[in-house]
Amino acid sequence: MATVPDPPAAEPRSEDHQALRHSLIVVVGGQLERVLGTLTALALRWGLTPELLGVYTGLRLYLDNANRSSLGVSLAAGQEVPLHLAAGRIERAERIQNVAHTVNSISVWIYALGLLGLVCWNAAWRNPALPTDPLATEWTYGLIAVALIAPLKRYQDYLIVMQRARKGFQVTTEVQVLDSLVFALLAVIGLAVAGLWGLLGAVGALMVFNIGYLQWRRPLRLAFEWDRREAVRLMVVGFPIWLNTLLFMLVTSTDRLVILWLADQPERSVGLYTVALMGTGWALDLAGRIVLVMGTYFQSTLGRTNDPAAVARQAIRATEAQATPLFAGSAIAYVAGPTFLSWLMPGYEAGVEAIHPLLPGMILLGLALGARQLLISLERVWSLAGVTTLGWLTVTALSVAWVGESGIVGVAWGVSLGALVTFLLTTALAYRPILGASAWSLHLGRLIKRSLWWVVGGALAAHPPLPLPQTWATIGWQGLVEFVIRTGFLILWAMPALYLWGRDHDWGGLSPRPRRRAKR
């Protein structure tokens, strides 16, 4: 490891300890939010048929993409505002904040009008000779609802960005947890009263609640201010980052678009596929939350050392540190997920068959996030866009090729193989030019070595037949007993590896000081 004369060599270890602690805080808060979100997901599957859930999933894609309408202006503001505040340039920071807010407001209304135009175009140009879509009404009025809600979502999310820029992490964490809790309540009420329409109403009411809570807890005035040069400059700064977030979003969401466009019974198929996403998506979510913390530390290391190699080594350490928790959780999802979700949602049982083929893809995409953040920190965003595009094209090609023959299972395999391409290309681009091919190969080797314990344990827990008495099957106990035995075996198998991980990584930063390691 390269030495840094000032600050002392022990500092990276201490900084890693602090990063682990902050990551643990973010992860615990995120998992609390995710548990509450799971209650909402269960309510949706109890209150909607798979077909209507497929419509709602498609409508959420349109709503969630409203934030991309500003072409990166808010991303640039989120980077620049804290820098100017730290330097005492308050007026400059507020000007950037307000110009970005103005651009966001204009662009999201253009996006909303585009959705309304899509509704009108479908109504005016639809061939009357074609069979009537039984869900046409839901799609039509659902898109109108999304167009009305989109400006609220854009305002809410920009408020959160600006609160983070002003170090309002406590209030943004509060609103994220409350968001999940309040939406669970509103969704149940909305579904009980008006089905899909009540659910969409709950989404709009949630946006109003979040905006009100943010302004009550930490008021922030956003004013309209137009400056064409400033708006163009922010767009130039933010567009490459925006492009990369868009491309990665395509990697992670093209599967649902392919199902909606090409699968038999598309709405039902995508509704069933969401069960596989429930069982696997947490891996990508967990890694994403950790990278939010690590991005700050990458910037800190780069500013302190001006050494890309030091940041690259830090990214490798962060990725390898999170690998064991990802593998452990994935092994549990592999063994227990299909059975548990089938019991919870018997009407969606056909969707659990996509969990096993989709799980490797979510793990690989999560492990690629550290390398992605490294490339963004080093401003190699156009190269990152190139390799992400190749990964997206792979996902798209394989999903399209296999959806007709194998349905959602074929799409899941397409995602995982495309994720493998994305992971290899991204990590190679991030580490090989800086640290060399051998360092990249060793990094991959260590990840593979860590994964083997969990692959073997998951396979032994999930697949061998259990010699249980046949009488248990007749009284309905066999499934429960098998679940307990298989899950219990995996927990025992996991304990040695988790102990070693905790010892080597200061128990997630909870130990009072970083443990010194002997030099090797």
Q: Centre a 10 Å sphere on the Cβ of residue 261 and count the other Cβ atoms it contains.
A: 11
Q: Answer yes or no: is 520 within a domain.
A: no
* Residue 293's pLDDT band (cuts 50, 70, 90): low
Does residue 269 contact residue 263 with C-beta atoms inside 8 Å?
Answer: yes
- The residue to which tokens 């992490």 are assigned: 169
pLDDT of 380 reads 87
DSSP single-letter state for residue 226: -
Mean pLDDT of 515-520: 46
Cα 52 to the center of its chain, rounded Å: 23
Residues 209 and 248 in one domain: no
Does residue 361 contact residue 284 with C-beta atoms inside 8 Å?
Answer: no
Enumerate residues 6+ apart whose C-beta is below 8 A from 180.
Answer: 33, 34, 36, 37, 40
Q: Answer yes or no: is 8 within a domain.
A: no
Give residue-wise pLDDT tens across range 330-387.
888 888 888 888 887 777 788 888 889 999 999 999 999 889 988 987 878 889 999 9
Residues 174 and 320 in one domain: no
Statement: residue 67 has pLDDT above 90: no
Residues 175 and 280 in one domain: no
Q: Answer yes or no: is 176 within a domain.
A: yes
pLDDT of 386 reads 92
Does residue 411 contact residue 401 with C-beta atoms inside 8 Å?
Answer: no
Statement: residue 223 has pLDDT above 70: yes
Distance CA 372, CA 128 (A): 48
Statement: residue 459 has pLDDT above 50: yes
Residues 304 and 166 in one domain: no
Q: Which of 226, 252, 269 is the last residue of a domain?
A: 226
Residues 183 and 263 in one domain: no
Choice between 61 and 456, residue whose per-residue pLDDT is larger: 456
Q: Centre a 10 Å sphere on the Cβ of residue 122 and count the other Cβ atoms it contains.
A: 14
Statement: residue 6 has pLDDT above 50: no
Lowest mean pLDDT among 168-177, 199-208, 402-411: 168-177
Q: Centre a 10 Å sphere on the Cβ of residue 113 and count the other Cβ atoms it contains.
A: 11
Q: What is the mean pLDDT of the chain?
A: 80
Q: Centre a 10 Å sphere on the Cβ of residue 412 and count the other Cβ atoms it contains.
A: 28
Statement: residue 395 has pLDDT above 90: yes
pLDDT of 276 reads 84
Statement: residue 232 has pLDDT above 50: yes
Residues 196 and 258 in one domain: no
Mean pLDDT of 325-332: 87
Residues 340 and 282 in one domain: yes
Distance CA 470, CA 451 (A): 35
Percent of the chain with pLDDT over 70: 81
Return the closest-CA partner of residue 266 out of 255, 276, 253. 255
Q: Answer yes or no: is 233 within a domain.
A: no
Q: Answer yes or no: is 236 within a domain.
A: no
Q: Centre a 10 Å sphere on the Cβ of residue 77 and count the other Cβ atoms it contains.
A: 27
Domain count, the chain: 2
Statement: residue 88 has pLDDT above 60: yes
pLDDT of 517 reads 47
Give residue-wise pLDDT tens across range 106-142.
998 999 999 888 888 876 665 554 446 677 788 888 8
pLDDT of 422 reads 94
DSSP single-letter state for residue 520: -
Statement: residue 14 has pLDDT above 60: no
What CA–CA distances, in Å, run from 2 to 110, 305, 408, 436? 51, 11, 48, 14
Tokens of 454: 């969990």
Residues 219 and 250 in one domain: no
Statement: residue 401 has pLDDT above 70: yes
What CA–CA distances, in Å, run from 474 to 93, 463, 479? 70, 22, 11
Q: Answer yes or no: is 183 within a domain.
A: yes
Residues 254 and 215 in one domain: no
Statement: residue 394 has pLDDT above 80: yes
Residues 265 and 200 in one domain: no
Q: Centre a 10 Å sphere on the Cβ of residue 106 and count the other Cβ atoms it contains.
A: 15
Q: How far apart are the first and last CA of the chain?
A: 11
Return the closest-CA partner of residue 98 out of 84, 82, 81. 81
Q: Answer yes or no: is 330 within a domain.
A: yes
Tell me which amino acid residue 462 is: A
Residues 157 and 96 in one domain: yes
* Residue 426's pLDDT band (cuts 50, 70, 90): very high
Tell me the DSSP string of 424-474.
HHHHHHHHHHHH-HHHHHHHHHHHHHHHHHHHHHHHHHHSSPP---HHHHH
Residues 170 and 316 in one domain: no
Using omega within 30 degrees of 0 as the cis cutoff, is the peptide bond preceding 128 cis?
Answer: no
Tell me which amino acid residue 472 is: W
Give residue-wise pLDDT tens across range 129-138.
444 667 778 8
Phi, psi of 218 (to 5 degrees): -150, 80
Mean pLDDT of 244-260: 87
Mean pLDDT of 169-183: 79
* Residue 388's pLDDT band (cuts 50, 70, 90): very high
* Residue 5's pLDDT band (cuts 50, 70, 90): very low
What is the number of residues in the chain?
Answer: 520
Return the closest-CA partner of residue 240 out of 35, 423, 40, 381. 381
Question: Which residue segment(s) compose the domain that 343 sits in?
Answer: 244-464+473-503
Distance CA 218, CA 422 (A): 40
Phi, psi of 71 (to 5 degrees): 60, 35
Distance CA 18, CA 453 (A): 28
Give residue-wise pLDDT tens across range 38-49.
677 777 777 777
Does residue 451 contact residue 323 with C-beta atoms inside 8 Å?
Answer: yes
DSSP single-letter state for residue 44: H
Q: Answer yes or no: is 137 within a domain.
A: yes
Statement: residue 446 has pLDDT above 90: yes
